Amino acid sequence: MDAENDRGSENKLTSLFSIIFLVLVVLFFVFFLPSPHNDELLSIPKRDDFTDHLIKSGSPTNEFDDFINELKQSSDLSEHKIVFLVGPYFYTDFIAGGIYTDKYHRLSHYLLVEKEYYETLTLTDKKAFIAHEIGHLVKLREPPYAEYFIANREIASQINADEFAVRHVGVDAVTEWLNKSYEYNPERQQRLLKLALLKKEMRKQ
């Protein structure tokens, strides 16, 4: 009988310690793990010697100046200067373009796209790409803790930019563009899933 009581006490203690440990883990995540700040969530690479070379080798295009200005005006970016450059950059299955902030002037940005990749896109795809990249300059929201743990900060940044693009070109346009891009990028599937969920939510409204 005493042995059974001892085992029962041990089981209760084990359960109690497990509960305490679980509570401590939750408290750590809620109070001590840093929430991504604006410059962390939307980590825009700064212009450096490497990007200087990319910028100088690109050809400026004003094809989408009106669209870029529209995005700027609707997103509190009216004072920002965005130069759109098409050039022989770094086309891979992981990345075909990006936006860079000038190291000397935080309101000046360079939107770079690989020429080979750019020429495969439709007009709608190009607008989705541009809106997504400019979306990296705009913080729509803090990601919920659940999303923050599942998706690292880079994925959270990409999802944020996708949602910005959806506001300006629509969820179907962003989905169609992403389906043609970054085929082997590990973040791509999660972004497509988020877009599908967003489309479902929009249908309910």
Residue 101 pLDDT: 86
Return the closest-CA partner of residue 54 out of 89, 26, 19, 29. 89
Per-residue pLDDT 10s for the chain (205 aa) are: 555 555 556 666 666 666 776 656 544 444 444 433 333 333 445 545 556 777 777 889 999 999 999 999 998 899 999 999 998 765 554 468 889 888 788 899 999 998 888 999 999 999 999 999 999 998 765 555 445 554 467 788 889 999 999 999 999 999 999 998 887 777 888 899 999 999 998 888 7
The DSSP output letter for 62 is: -
Q: Both tokens of residue 41?
A: 């969530």
Residue 133 pLDDT: 94
Residue 38 pLDDT: 35
Place of tokens 């999303």: 147
Amino acid at 183: E
Question: How far is it, in rounded angstroms, from Cα 196 to Cα 171?
Answer: 8
pTM: 0.70
Question: How far is it, in rounded angstroms, from Cα 157 to Cα 177?
Answer: 17
Q: How far is CA 146 from the centre of its chain?
A: 16
Residue 21 pLDDT: 63
Cα–Cα distance list, 48 to 33, 55, 58, 108, 160 (Å) = 31, 10, 15, 14, 25
What 3-state class would DSSP assign to 161?
helix
The DSSP output letter for 63 is: T
Q: Is 108 exposed, middle or buried (0-12, 13-18, 19+ CB in 10 A)?
A: middle
Question: How far is it, in rounded angstroms, from Cα 134 to Cα 69?
Answer: 11
**Alpha helix locations (H) across 89-170?**
115-118, 123-135, 145-150, 153-169
